[in-house]
Structure 1
Amino acid sequence: MSKLIVVTGATGNQGGSVAATFLGLSGWRVRVITRNPDSAKAQALKAAGAEVVRADLGDSDTAALRAALDGAHAIFLNTDFWETYRPAAATLLSAGKDPAAAGRLAFDHETKCRKNVADVAATLPTLERLVVSSLTSIVGGSLFLSDPHATTRAFHPEAKNWAVEYIETQLPALAAKLSVIVPCAYNTNRLMVPRRATPTATTATTTTTTTPAGIYQFVSPLKIDIHLPTIDPATGTGAFVRCLVEDEPAGTKLLAYDSNQTLGDLVDVFRRVTGTNEATAVVVPVSTAALVQMGQSWEVLATVDYINEHDAYERGEPGFVRPHQLQHPPARPSYEDWARTVDWEKLIAGEA
């Protein structure tokens, strides 16, 4: 008899990858939860063989969620912080206000969604494995669990980590079935994608340095020698989650990546695959504070400070394993393999 995996966030990169992977495995049925079963992505999943059910993870009435999770042998849990954060931040900015409050709003919504899933999952007699997609806390583990009024410049890693802490401390029976995946930096992360330099000209009244057209600038606050493992979440997440569900014991915590390299290595890859060189693809170091002054948010950039200070990916977290330590590590394309398939002009323009 086939087993059932229920996938949240299946219309996104991570959940979509998990759904696609398990749809291709014998012995598994796939059910996906979405707020909009009529969306194009949901309908594509249905056409591929998934059962598509409607539920809102954030509803206070969890009846629909209970029905959606009923009978699950495995659950993949991921939620989208940015879906709440971005419109809230835009509204605050348009009113001339600090967008930091949007982080708290998104944190509260995401932790509610994750708590709802965890609370229902804890009641399922069929459940064998819950895989939670998480991030590393940058303020120290369970702070937000012990202090609901705690604050930070970056709420998104805390929202992800909160669910793991909640399960481990409040739901011990479910914790015995829990595994965790921490996807590393997405290949398409804007901090690792160059921008085309805007040509400038020196005039009699300015001292602006001339920047020729055709120059690609990696304007990044990341240290050039900091380790930056990367993953293509749309293809890699499912492969790693399969390992956590089928191969590894409960309690496994995985730092998931396809390649492990430095920012300098990534720039070298870009030069090789695009035919640029040290003169036409350049690194422009910039501080996180300077980027905030340019309009970027601490919600993103505070995590960069943490990575720079701790070389966080290389140091790792206690108890986490890396892909090569899995019983059957999936074969994954390197960052360079991926980079050779990318339309870089579209990616730079934000169209890919």
Structure 2
Amino acid sequence: MASKKLLVVFGATGAQGGSVVKAVLGDAKMKESWAVRGITRDTSKPSAKALEALGAETMAANLNDAASVKSAIKGAYAVFGVTNYWEDRSSDLEFKQGKTMADAAKECGVQHFVWSSLLNITELSKGALPKVSHFDSKAAVEKYIRSIGIPATFFLPGFYMSNLPGGMFRQVPPNNDWALSLPIPSSSQVPLLDTAGDTGKFVKGILLNREKVLGKRILGATDYYTLDELVEQFKKVFPEAGKTAKAVELPHQTFKDILGSAGMPEENQEEMLQNMRLLHEFGYYGGADLKESHEILVDKLTTWEEFMKTAKAFQGLK
């Protein structure tokens, strides 16, 4: 390992981190020059053992324990940092965890810190959407990383494709017709990402193009799709099930009520509503083009059509 560059991946058993580990170790050429250390809280679980089978070293660390984070990063050339806001639903905790990783990266002399970031929506919307906390707290970490002067690139994952099948895009009673139901017009544009499949493709491109991407944001999405386009492609892939499929614009309160019936606290209901409104009113990426972010890629990204064919919620459809 000493002759290779060490990449430390936090959240290694999650969708983003796991994708990074698999992409780097699944590339024969990169595997010759890179070693991967996957960080998780429990190295005994099957998902951690699966990473070891790919050739990764695994190490236990807790983002709330600065000493364990520093030990995890020691010796790293590059670090992929990611946090899970939804675990504790705390902006303060997410910022603290991100700061802990950044401080450790600086102290350990990391040459490339890749932070899984998002835009500050309060700023983007000029205060119109002030409650999209899981965006704003990641943006706050990005701002901190920039302030301490470590060499960094910022990966901004798009809207998870996995959120749609069986979730926002599901069968609706009484007729069990398929409907993509969101509180925004069907012309709204959504930058989709196959998170588990494609996060690693972007991070691989970032690592291979270090000088080109230092200080930059890489927008992690395959393409922009309108809700109408998502439904039309569903009809194309599943012509029988898709006969009556449609995009439905939900009243804002109805959307919140659905989240509430699923057990989501009221504060987070409003957060999710504003998150959806962002797509239509200001743009997930503020209207930015994806072209430049795609220039660093060496792997083909997963399309919505391809993703649908493997989605569990759509299995068995004709």
Using structure 2 for the length normalisation, give the TM-score.
Answer: 0.86
1:86-120 deviations in whole A, cap 9, x for unaligned? xxxxxxxxxxxxxxxxxxxx212111111101011
1:211-261 deviations in whole A, cap 9, x for unaligned? xx3411222113211221211111101110011111242112111112322
- 36, 39, 48: which one pairs with 2:42? 36
Aligned to 2:78: 74
Unpaired stretches in structure 1, ≥5 consecutive residues: 86-105, 144-150, 200-212
- 116, 122, 130: which one pairs with 1:133? 116
Aligned to 1:241: 203
**Where in structure 2 are the equivalents of 1:133-212 lying within 5 Å?**
133-140=116-123, 152-169=130-147, 171-172=148-149, 174=150, 177-190=151-164, 193-199=168-174
Unpaired stretches in structure 2, ≥5 consecutive residues: none
User: What is the CA distance between 1:63 and its match in structure 2?
Assistant: 2.0
User: What is the CA distance between 1:311 and its match in structure 2?
Assistant: 3.1
CA gap 1:277/1:38 in 2 versus in 1, 3 angstroms: closer
Counterpart AA for 2:300: A
Distance 2:293 2:272 in 1: 26
User: What is the CA distance between 1:323 and its match in structure 2?
Assistant: 3.3
Aligned to 1:10: 12
**Do residues 111 (structure 1) and 95 (structure 2) align?**
yes
Q: How many pairs were matched up? A: 297
Distance 2:19 2:316 in 1: 20
1:41-66 deviations in whole A, cap 9, x for unaligned? 1121122211111111112xx22221
Distance 1:72 1:278 in 2: 49
1:115-154 deviations in whole A, cap 9, x for unaligned? 10101111123x221100111111017x9xxxxxxx9422
Distance 1:220 1:198 in 2: 16
CA gap 1:292/1:10 in 2 versus in 1, 3 angstroms: same
1:69-88 deviations in whole A, cap 9, x for unaligned? 01100000001111113xxx
Counterpart AA for 2:20: V
Structure with greater Cα Rg: 1
- 214, 229, 235: which one pairs with 1:271? 235
Conserved 8 A contact 1:4-1:28: yes
**Do residues 282 (structure 1) and 246 (structure 2) align?**
yes
Conserved 8 A contact 1:228-1:263: yes
Conserved 8 A contact 1:244-1:252: no
Aligned to 2:219: 255
CA gap 1:138/1:110 in 2 versus in 1, 3 angstroms: same
1:298-333 deviations in whole A, cap 9, x for unaligned? 22221111221123446128xx86433x24453113
Give the 3-state SS of the residue equivalent to 2:123 in structure 1: coil
Distance 1:268 1:135 in 2: 29
Give the 3-state SS of the residue equivalent to 1:79 in structure 2: coil
**Do residues 323 (structure 1) and 293 (structure 2) align?**
yes
- 264, 283, 305: which one pairs with 1:311? 283
**Do residues 301 (structure 1) and 263 (structure 2) align?**
no
Give the 3-state SS of the residue equivalent to 1:42 in structure 2: helix
Q: Percent identity, aligned pairs only?
A: 30
Give the 3-state SS of the residue equivalent to 1:243 in structure 2: helix
CA gap 1:321/1:182 in 2 versus in 1, 3 angstroms: farther
Counterpart AA for 1:181: F
Give the 3-state SS of the residue equivalent to 2:162 in structure 1: coil
User: What is the CA distance between 1:168 and its match in structure 2?
Assistant: 1.4
User: What is the CA distance between 1:190 and its match in structure 2?
Assistant: 3.8
**Where in structure 2 are the equivalents of 1:23-102 lying within 5 Å?**
23-24=25-26, 25=30, 26-59=32-65, 62-85=66-89
Counterpart AA for 2:114: V
Counterpart AA for 1:31: R
Aligned to 2:307: 338
Conserved 8 A contact 2:160-2:193: yes
Distance 1:286 1:214 in 2: 17
Distance 1:39 1:14 in 2: 18
Conserved 8 A contact 1:224-1:264: yes
Task: Calculate the aligned-residue CA RMSD, in Å.
Answer: 2.5
Give the 3-state SS of the residue equivalent to 1:216 in structure 2: strand
Aligned to 1:99: none
